Chains A and B, each alone.
Chain A
Amino acid sequence: MIDPAYRAAPADALRIEPLGELTAIFDRRSMQTHLVVPPVPEMLAAMAEDACDAAALAVRLAERFDLSVEGDARAVVAARLRELAAMGLVAPT
């Protein structure tokens, strides 16, 4: 299966506030509040301004957190990206 590439929301569109185990994200465009758990905040941070697909993002996350890209990392990232797209926090390119 080919994963689509996604682009994160522009940095100034989101206000991201860690609140203990949860992270609250306010989307200035939709005025909606989203509550997310790891690895979603880490994914948004790793995507930055670039478009990337699940495989590339899994590699980036592995580098940042010193993990090995094995098993179903790509599939997990792909599933989270689809959820983020449904919330409007990333958009397919």
Chain B
Amino acid sequence: MRHDTRIAVGPVQFRIGSDWARPIAALNRLYASYPQDPERPADATVRLFAARPWRRWLRPSVQIGGDFTVPDALPLPLAMGLLAAEMGMNLQVALGWRRHLLLHASAVEKDGRAVILSGVSGSGKSTLAALLGETGWRLMSDEFTLIAPDSGDALAFPRAVSLKNEAIAEMAARVDPARLGPLLAGTPKGDIRHLIPRPDAIAAMHDPARPALILFPRFGGAAAAVEPMGEGEAFVRLTEASTNYTALGEAGFAALTRLVRETPAFALSYPDSATGLALVDRLWAEAGR
């Protein structure tokens, strides 16, 4: 394609090609500090292309393609090309990755042990993970956490964090502005701004961590609540949160049964971020005993 780049996030090497220079330049800025290995073959390919040749210039709109595609996906305006690139990267991993069990979950690490936060969009898992990543934890992932079938370890996938709506101001008040990407206003997911993880999180992106806690956060409600979750329910929820559980067959089954057996799980609801952070710290302290 006319413009392209390579980006390594955790174990995944992406090749991203585009009909336009702008999305590639924006990606290169976000991922400038990530280790590069141009010799390594790509695991996943993303293509950002004009659905019709004239759409490169006339009301340019970005169609997302690659090894895997979603039929009838609507194109995005070129101003949201960075979002299109990120969506394409997520899609390729979600549909194509087979080497690890893929959980739609954030994760943070301390002392070699990981807290996995699983939840649907809007549960606040990304915001919690981003906040924890600024307060003494290593941010491993904001979107996908990978579980190695052989060791049971969690592997990091520290993409740029996709901050949405209220989380943008919350994080912008805490971090160096140089770590924030451009504001993408009025996307189909609301306002989005990317946060570059801290340099130590990027440098440690190949370091695995032992799962120590699985949390299912839910933002909202009047008061904080914590409920221990049984192995069976955690198993069911994580099969639903995995995009490749079925594809992995018995390896996925074995990895997930082991994960829920060895890792205590809790559902937690929290009315605000400060309460959410305090709950995670409390459960972490209890898990360490």
What residues make up the interface of A, taking CB atoms closer than 8 Å to B? 15, 17, 19-22, 24, 26, 28, 31, 33, 35
Contacts and interface: CB of A to CB of B under 8 A. Distances in A.
Given A19-B257, A19-B260, A31 B232 contact: no
Contacts, number: 38
Contact of A15 (B230, B239, B246, B253): B253
B135 to A, nearest CB: 33
B250 A20 contact: no
B232 A19 contact: yes
A17 B232 CA distance: 10
A8 to B, nearest CB: 19
Contacts of A35: 232, 235-236
Size category, B interface: 10 to 19
B188 to A, nearest CB: 33
B261 A19 contact: yes
B230 A24 contact: no
Interface of B: 230-233, 235-236, 239, 246, 249-250, 253-254, 257, 260-261
A26 B258 CA distance: 14
B8 to A, nearest CB: 31
16 contacts: A15-B253, A19-B231, A19-B235, A19-B260, A19-B261, A22-B230, A22-B233, A22-B235, A22-B236, A24-B235, A24-B253, A26-B250, A28-B250, A31-B246, A33-B239, A33-B253
Nearest to A22: B232
Given A31-B246, A33-B239, A20 B253 contact: no
Contacts of A22: 230-233, 235-236
Given A19-B231, A19-B232, A33-B239, A24 B257 contact: yes
A26 B232 CA distance: 14
**Top 8 closest pairs, chain A to chain B, by CB:** A22-B232, A19-B231, A20-B230, A20-B231, A26-B253, A19-B232, A17-B257, A20-B232
Contacts of A17: 253, 257
Nearest to A33: B253
Contacts of B233: 22
Nearest to B253: A26
Contacts of B236: 22, 35
Given A22-B236, A24-B257, 12 more contacts: A15-B253, A19-B230, A19-B231, A19-B261, A20-B231, A22-B232, A22-B235, A31-B246, A31-B249, A31-B250, A33-B253, A35-B236
